[in-house]
């Protein structure tokens, strides 16, 4: 079986991804934790502004309800989207902790095929 230059390039990309995965998984895990920390902190700040203590409620008066509705409409979707992204990153990291099985199997099949038949096209 001979591979086109484009296929060889894709195989090299798969090998590179496989080599870099142990480092990438920690970077992705750190990014997800960072997103949780930053947006969790912002969410806490937001709720302290929405639900002030009893002493601050009299000072804010009627303006508080309109501002809170606007702030809720602006920021709540961003919080939800970022929490969903962080959750998705963690799910991908947990699922592929030891490597992507499809990628690993494909590379093993290519290596086995390369060792069985001496072909003029080089894979590695």
Span 31-68, pLDDT tens digits: 999 999 999 998 888 877 666 666 555 555 545 567 77
Q: pTM (2 decimals)?
A: 0.72
Residue 12 maps to a domain: yes
Residue 122 maps to a domain: no
Q: Which residues contact 31 (CB under 8 A, 6 or more apart)?
A: 86, 89
Tell me if 84 sits within 8 A of 35, measured CB to CB.
Answer: no
Computed over every residue of the chain, the mean pLDDT equals 83
Closest CA to 24 of 124, 97, 106: 97
Provide mean pLDDT across the span 101-111.
89
Residue 50 maps to a domain: yes
Residue 16 maps to a domain: yes
Length of the chain: 124
Residue 121 maps to a domain: no
d(CA 27, CA 32): 9
List pLDDT tens digits, range 79-90.
Answer: 999 999 999 999
Total tally of structural domains belonging to the chain: 1
Residue 124 maps to a domain: no
Task: Give yes or no for residue 14 having a pLDDT over 70.
Answer: yes
Task: Give the pLDDT of residue 118.
Answer: 64
What's the domain range around 98? 5-116
Residue 75 maps to a domain: yes
Provide mean pLDDT across the span 62-79.
77
Task: Give the pLDDT of residue 41.
Answer: 93
d(CA 66, CA 88): 34
Task: Give the pLDDT of residue 8.
Answer: 87
Q: Which of 20-24, 59-63, 115-119 has the lowest mean pLDDT?
A: 59-63
Task: Give yes or no for residue 123 having a pLDDT over 70.
Answer: no
Task: Give yes or no for residue 16 having a pLDDT over 70.
Answer: yes
């Amino acid at each position: 079986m001979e591979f086109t230059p484009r296929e060889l390039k894709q195989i090299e990309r798969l090998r590179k991804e496989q080599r870099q995965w142990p480092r990438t998984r920690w970077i992705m895990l750190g990014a997800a934790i960072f997103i949780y920390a930053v947006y969790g902190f912002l969410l806490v700040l937001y709720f302290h502004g929405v639900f002030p203590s009893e002493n601050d409620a009299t000072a804010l008066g009627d303006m508080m309800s309109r501002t809170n509705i606007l702030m809720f409409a602006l920021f709540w979707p961003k919080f939800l989207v970022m929490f969903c992204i962080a959750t998705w990153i963690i799910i991908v990291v947990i699922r592929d902790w030891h490597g992507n099985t499809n990628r690993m199997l494909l590379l093993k099949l290519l290596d086995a095929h390369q060792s069985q038949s001496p072909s003029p096209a080089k894979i590695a």
